[in-house]
Amino acid sequence: MKKTVASEAIHQLFTEARTYTAWLPDEISDDTLREVYDLMKWGPTSANCCPARIVFVRKGPKKELLISCLDPGNVPKVKAAPVTAIIAMDQKFYDFLPKLFPPAPGYRDVFASNRNLSESTAFRNGSLQGAYFIMAARSLGLDCGPMSGFNNGKLDELFFSGTSWRSNFLCNIGHGDPAKLNPRSPRFRFEEACRIESD
């Protein structure tokens, strides 16, 4: 039986982790961004399809383009964040299945011939990978601020024109400013959100 992780890790990943909207000005290195991805990539996906694609946006013209896609309430969050990750998905992920899932190279054609299946698979598994991204970043001592609240179509046109990549959600990463946290919102109890079925 595998050992459970230390309570400190559980606190960092779950019970004491918060969603940040205000950020300290600390820079995040390219090496750290690579580390986040190199942890995230090990999370499971259907047939190892790995549809998530990530664009890390720092300051400069690309950040201004990103800001132009945001709902007004999200502009200060992105302006202050040292890095904003565009969590996207490759809608033609199936072209890589012969490499990523060698036991069944024929899977490529199964997805390529069924648009509804391929799109739902890309969205579901890309979203899973986005969650792995958050946990990977937290495990390296970073804070996260995932969010919607942007024009997906405009962002895709500005960042992914001519490709099969499409945006899913955004995630600011860095070191959050604890002085600007709101009180933590409640969560459902087990009995409110779960049930156990058995014979």
Domain ranges, ordered by start, for the chain: 19-177
pLDDT of 156 = 98
pLDDT over 70 for what percent of the chain? 100
- What is this structure's pTM? 0.96
Architecture of the domain whose range is 19-177: 3-Layer(aba) Sandwich (3.40)
- Residue 2, pLDDT > 90, answer no
Query: How sure is the predictor about 199, in pLDDT bands with cuts at 50, 70 and 90?
Result: confident
Summarised one tens digit per residue, pLDDT across range 107-140 is: 999 999 999 999 999 999 999 999 999 999 999 9
DSSP 113-177: T-HHHHHHHHHHHHHHHHHHHHHHHHHTT-EEEEE--B-HHHHHHHHHTTSSEEEEEEEEEE-B-
Summarised one tens digit per residue, pLDDT across range 6-57 is: 999 999 999 999 999 999 999 999 999 999 999 999 999 999 999 999 999 9
